[in-house]
Amino acid sequence: MTLHPIVIELIQLLMILFLSPAFAGWVKIVKCRTQGRTAPGLLQPYRDIARLFAKDVVLAENASWVFRSTPYIVFGVTLMAGGVIPLISVDLPLADTADIIVLVMLFAIVRFCTALAGMDVGTAFGGMGSSREMMISSLAEPAMLMAVFTVSLAGSSTSLTQMVTVMSGHAFVIRPSLAFSLVAFVLIALAETGRIPVDNPATHLELTMIHEAMILEYSGRYLALIEWAGMMKLVIYFSLGTAVFFPWGISGSGDPLSLIIRALFFVAKLAAGGAVMVLIETGLAKMRIFRLPDYLGSAFLLATLGMIAFFILE
Amino acid sequence: MLLDYVSLSAAAAPLDIAGFSVLLLLGSALCAPFLSRWERLLIPAAFSLATVASLAAVHAGFTALVTGSNSAATVAMGLPGLPFNLRLDPLAGFFLVVIGLLSAFVSVYSIGYVRGYLGRRPTTQLVLFYLLFLAGMFLVVLADDAYLFLLAWELMAAASYFLVMYEDEVAANRRAAFLYLVVAHVGAIAILLSFGVMAGLTTGSGGFQSYTFDAMRAARLSPAWGAAAFFLSFFGFAAKAGVIPLHVWLPEAHPAAPSNVSALMSGVMLKTAIYGMVRVAFDLIREFPWWWGGIVLCFGLVSAVLGVLYALMQHDLKRLLAFHSVENIGIILIGLGLAMVFTSFQFHSLAALALVAALYHTLNHALFKGLLFMGAGAVIHSTNERNMEEMGGLIHQLPWTSALFLVGCVSISGLPPFNGFVSEWLTFQAFLLSPVLPHPLLKLLVPLGAALLALTGALAAACFVKAFGVTFLGSWRGHRRKEQISEVGPAMRLGMLGAALCCLALGVLPTFVIGWIDNIPQQLFGGEIAKSAGSYGWLWLTPYSPERASYSGPVVFFGILAMVAATYLLLHVRRAAIRRVPLWDCGFEKVTPRMQYTASAFAMPVRRVFGFFFAVREQVELVSPQNHPVMADTINYRLRIRDRFWGWFYQPLADISFWVARRAGKLQQGRIQVYLLYSFVTLIVLLVFL
Amino acid sequence: MSNALVIQLNTLLAALILLTSFALLVQRRMFAILHLFAWQGFFLGVSTAVIGFATGEHHLYISSLLTLVMKVLLLPYILYALIKKLKVHREIESIMNTSCTMFLGIALVIFSYHLTAPIRQLSTLVTRSTLAVALATVMLGMLMMVTRRHAVSQIIGFLAMENGLFFAATSATYGMPMVVELGVALDLLIAAFIFGIFFFHINTTFDSLDVDQMAKLKETD
């Protein structure tokens, strides 16, 4: 019994929706263990989100409709982006509506709206977060595009389903261009999702905040939506990486049993990736903001090297 | 159904309708000075006529574009033996649509905007030159010979000069208009020389017929002369389009002009230069080596990156928008350059993709830049401020303007589902297909261009977050008390709304637009993409092939709407309330509007990172009566940013011209015998050599 | 070992050598530079061994062993001892900022790719595609010598250039004659000793090994 593609799409959306807090919890557990602290439970992010939903919203007097609508837009667009990446099947109806460039631009919408919301309340924190975030994103975009370009050369397409199909057809072979692009992608993903060494997700010190500064005035269900969207964004970047660089175990038939097996395989990849990310985070310190151009410049360099390596060596 | 409409209206030939529109504009311009006593009636009447004329031109152009027709006519005006030749082919038709669509919206907007000048200044000149300006632009696009082209080009330049000089009691405006005039005429000379080269090399059909474009199309140009003709015309059109380094007049002239004029200048006048480039390169000189396209591509990349960096440093709203025009012209040139490179290697369908991307961006830019200038005009009209650092919190007073300006900001930042994204996506796809190029060096260098394009897109988004955030969000920063700032009138709102709706429509339904534009590459060099672009159905845009890349505007738009609506509805039924309280700001009580980020503050990280492109000088001064090193009464911060091109390019040019002029001035001896000697020597020389 | 696997391993090692050359360009800490140089030598040695195994040219094994001993163990150790004895500053500055150096590096790589294109078309060897990487390594070594301010970094740039030449030799002609190789290896060793003695004297005279300081030696103003 094969499931209809729309049902598979819904299952994938629900997976992203409900697995992302668990992923955030898992990352927290691994980080605390490596640092020798006691971790909160795996389900703590769910409790946090539920608590925030139940609370009143405290809204500034001069907040406009831009501020009030941003959490919904951010959440909706992130969910849409989650529907575009092939996670457990290549047979998704939404996947043909957007290729990898559209995906990058969907995240640009999220960033744009959040930056506007940061400017909306008229505090110094919001402006600071918005301006730093836009600087980082403007430096990360060329590097991201170069990495995408190299990968699309290897997969001869920018459509994600096509890339997954083509690359999982090849045997496991280390190609220098893809290796360079992978390292570049990891560096950029750390910058875009706001993890150490770019931005500390747990800080509220004004000198070190970037993402937190923009959402400082949000409370109640708005904050819940934005936090949840942040967790989903992390899972989505991670699944983008696996779809492009480790695409084995994504495509397959539509019957429920193999779907469940692929879903479990995806969860295993998530868990492993989360552990690797925690090791990177624990091993590095957060960089000063004006060192970030060097950092993103090396990401760009690696991506360009990957592209050159494709032409020279392959 | 669309074809029925077209065949019905084809009864009246499109060229006739276009001619009618031009005549309507010229006729109203002629009548306007006589009606200067009834200004209150003149303004709505004249601008409504302008709207009608623009819509007629849109209709004519659209018919020509969709049916792929190519009609010509000869009008026996002009000099005896040198009649005017007109032609309406798909390329001209497309540009008629671009010009006519935006000018229709701006004319509706002007009905409300120009009323603001009543009583302060005579508006007849504004009306008169506006109509002449529109007529000039339409004629440039319709011209089929060098004579009418240059005549219309001059009409356009002269009319816009007077429009820029409209508020002429401000010395800065006069200087800006003069600079504009100088650069425009330097460009016009270059274009004239280029046409001269092409006309001089036409074969057969002796005498006066060589100035027509038909004769130039038939001419065979040797590589050296072809390069001369192309680069002369590229220089001339680049001066008009505002390509770096000939961009210096743009940030001066566009803020000086009234906002409806700025919208037209930035939105469509720059596009006539693009029309000229496409016409000369693809229609008149048809074969060219790859390095011409490479040079165009390089200029496009430089203009795009430098334009957006300069724009980020501005705090005058209109100057910021003017620099963004430089950036977007750069993006259009990138598409054009790629198209030229692909054509020279005979990859016609890829060239069609790049050309369609460039032309689509032309249409998009006209609409969203026009919308942004109209919005800026509305803001300046309501607040009497041009400096962003004095504004803030206007979203509460100007709800419509801010919402429509936001549409413009989102479009220009290239975010889905609006139109800016579609043309940028198509340009990226053209870049990503460059590995088929046989030349090994090009294969490696063109992708670096794609990275620069991504950088410009991200910096543009940053700039518009700054522009919208500082102007409309937050609280009022100004030193003056906020007077009664009220929303602008219905005419202005209607004009902006029309442009915004077009932005959305062009973003959500790209397959139709591409189907219409596709006639142009077919006419010019026989490449087309519409077959593959619509091969998946009208919902999906697949420019090269469905496996290569696909984008579905409607599905993304409705998908986002559906998700957002679902989220809202599921969460709206909540027992948790919303409480309005003063700002939290981490518990800091004494928040004043002066503590917000200013425009210069927002741009500071980018200024630090990319600062080597400008001459930046920052000065911080502590005023402290007891000469204490840390505690101060006042802290003054001075920031000066200058365009380096003045020092590198224009100052040396000016110095050299003055030096040459001083040398030549030695001829003026002052004594009558010397002048008689000059005449005598000239007479002898002529007798000897002739 | 099948041909395809050899080619893959070879390209992977070439890519890693290129990566280490770039890292040498932008890295600032002295000991990190030494480690990177050792890694470069290691990749080079392994690559030579792999080619030797695939083509059956046994003299490449000896070259590989020589490279590994000299460039991974001996030379880095000599330089490490030198640095400890001189008690030099641990950071090396460069005359341009990181982004400029990187862009120049990329331009040089593209240039060497363009230069070696005709050879790639004519050659029939397994290793023909790595010639561009070898040439790029030579150029990046020279760039390192030009853009760094410290005398120790210049010697490392010189050694990196030699690495590139060695790699070019293996890519283009499956190695140099044995006599040439032994001669070059001996020359390198002696050069390292002589450099060490000179640096000691320079440091005693100037109290610094910053190259800009040595500009005081010129006679005109």
Closest-approach residue (CA) in chain A for B572: A221
CA proximity to A148, closest of A283, A312, A306? A306
Q: What is the pLDDT of residue B203?
A: 65
Residues of A in contact with C130 (CB under 8 A): 313
- Cβ contact B210:B202 at 8 Å: yes
DSSP-assigned letter for residue B631: -
CA proximity to B644, closest of B617, B620, B605? B617
CA A167 to chain centre: 21
C171-194 pLDDT tens trace: 777 777 777 888 888 888 888 888
Its pTM stands at 0.89
- Cβ contact B581:A61 at 8 Å: yes
- What is the count of structural domains for chain A? 1
| Confidence grade of residue B202 (pLDDT, cut at 50, 70, 90) | confident
pLDDT of residue A59 exceeding 70: yes
The torsion angle over the Cα atoms of residues B387, B592, A210 and A141, rounded to 10 degrees, is -10
ipTM of the complex: 0.93
Please count the CA atoms within 13 angstroms of the CA of B93 that sit on its side-chain side: 28
Give buried/exposed letters for B58-95 (b at 16+ CB in 10 A, else e): bbbbbbbbbbebbbebeeeeeeeebbbbbbbbbbbbbb
**pLDDT (mean) for B347-366:** 92
Q: What is the pLDDT of residue B536?
A: 65
Q: What is the pLDDT of residue B373?
A: 95
pLDDT of residue B174 exceeding 50: yes
B399-403, B463-467, B613-617: which range is least confident on average?
B613-617
In 3-state terms, what secondary structure has residue B86? Answer: strand
Residue percentage of chain A with pLDDT more than 90: 34
- Calpha distance A198→A191 (Å, rounded): 5
Mean pLDDT of chain A: 87
Residue B571 at interface with chain C, using a CB cutoff of 8 Å = no
| Confidence grade of residue C216 (pLDDT, cut at 50, 70, 90) | low
> CB neighbours of C104 closer than 8 A, spacing ≥ 6?
C96, C143
Tokens coding C166: 């060695």
Q: φ and ψ at C91, to 5 degrees? A: -115, 140
- Asked whether the beta carbons of residue B454 and residue A159 sit closer than 8 angstroms, the reply is no
AA letter at A200: N
- Asked whether the beta carbons of residue C18 and residue A304 sit closer than 8 angstroms, the reply is no
Q: What is the pLDDT of residue B567?
A: 85
Rounded to the nearest angstrom, the minimum Cα separation between C137 and chain A is 13
- What is the count of structural domains for chain C? 1
Q: B82-88 and B578-581 as β-strands: parallel, antiparallel, unpaired?
A: unpaired
Q: φ and ψ at B386, to 5 degrees? A: -115, -15
pLDDT of residue A25 exceeding 50: yes
Tokens coding B610: 């990319």
CA proximity to A238, closest of A173, A190, A307, A301? A190
Q: What is the pLDDT of residue B288?
A: 86
Scanning A141-200 for CB atoms below 8 A from B yields 141-146, 149, 152-153, 156-159, 162
Residue B550 at interface with chain A, using a CB cutoff of 8 Å = yes
- Asked whether the beta carbons of residue B564 and residue A130 sit closer than 8 angstroms, the reply is no
AA letter at B502: C
CA distances from B137 to A142, B131, B212 (A): 37, 10, 19
More confident residue, A260 or B211: A260
Mark out the alpha helices in B384-475 (DSSP H runs). 394-397, 399-412, 419-432, 440-472
Q: What is the pLDDT of residue B671?
A: 75
CA B282 to chain centre: 21
- Calpha distance B648→A132 (Å, rounded): 32
- Calpha distance A263→A265 (Å, rounded): 5
- Ranges of beta strands (E only) in chain A are 57-60
pLDDT of residue B137 exceeding 60: yes
A4-13, B145-154, B634-643, C90-99: which range is least confident on average?
C90-99
Residue B604 at interface with chain C, using a CB cutoff of 8 Å = no
Q: Which of A60, A80, A130 is the closest to B581 by Cβ?
A: A60
Closest-approach residue (CA) in chain C for B610: C99
**pLDDT (mean) for A81-89:** 86
Number of CB atoms found within 10 A of residue B479's CB: 7
Classify the C-alpha dihedral B613-B428-A160-B462 as positive or negative: positive
CA distances from B470 to A163, B482, B639, B640 (A): 42, 16, 18, 20
> CB neighbours of B56 closer than 8 A, spacing ≥ 6?
B17, B18, B20, B21, B24, B100
Mean pLDDT of chain C: 83
- Cβ contact B196:B190 at 8 Å: no
Q: What is the pLDDT of residue B224?
A: 87
Rounded to the nearest angstrom, the minimum Cα separation between A143 and chain B is 7
| Confidence grade of residue B1 (pLDDT, cut at 50, 70, 90) | very low
Number of CB atoms found within 10 A of residue A117's CB: 30
- Asked whether the beta carbons of residue C113 and residue B440 sit closer than 8 angstroms, the reply is yes
pLDDT of residue A213 exceeding 90: no
In 3-state terms, what secondary structure has residue B270? Answer: helix
For residue A135, count CB atoms less than 10 angstroms from its CB and return exposed for 0-12, middle for 13-18, buried for 19 or more: buried
Domain ranges in chain B are: 299-526, 613-689
pLDDT of residue B176 exceeding 80: yes
Closest-approach residue (CA) in chain C for A308: C110
Q: What is the pLDDT of residue C67?
A: 87
pLDDT of residue A257 exceeding 90: no
A143-153 pLDDT tens trace: 988 898 888 88
Q: Which of A109, A153, A159 is the closest to B435 by Cβ?
A: A153
CA distances from B512 to B2, B506, B538, B553, C190 (A): 11, 9, 7, 11, 74
Location of structure tokens 């360079």: A180
- Cβ contact B593:A227 at 8 Å: no
Q: B578-581 and A57-60 as β-strands: parallel, antiparallel, unpaired?
A: parallel
AA letter at A158: T
**pLDDT (mean) for A89-106:** 83
Residue C45 is part of which domain span? 3-217
C54-80 pLDDT tens trace: 888 788 888 888 889 888 998 888 888
**pLDDT (mean) for A54-63:** 87
Residue C110 at interface with chain A, using a CB cutoff of 8 Å = yes
Percent helix, strand and coil across chain B, each to the nearest 5:
70, 5, 20
CA proximity to B509, closest of B547, B541, B533, B542? B541
- Asked whether the beta carbons of residue C114 and residue B445 sit closer than 8 angstroms, the reply is no
- Asked whether the beta carbons of residue A307 and residue B580 sit closer than 8 angstroms, the reply is no
- Cβ contact B288:B281 at 8 Å: yes
- Asked whether the beta carbons of residue B444 and residue C110 sit closer than 8 angstroms, the reply is yes
**pLDDT (mean) for B395-410:** 93
B580-609 pLDDT tens trace: 888 887 777 778 888 888 888 898 888 888
Contacts 24+ apart (CB under 8 A), C187-194: C188/C70, C188/C75, C188/C159, C188/C162, C189/C70, C189/C74, C189/C75, C191/C158, C192/C75, C192/C78, C192/C79, C192/C155, C193/C78
In 3-state terms, what secondary structure has residue B621? Answer: strand
Which DSSP string corresponds to B120-174? TS--HHHHHHHHHHHHHHHHHHHB-BHHHHHHHHHHHHHHHHHHHTSSTTSHHHH
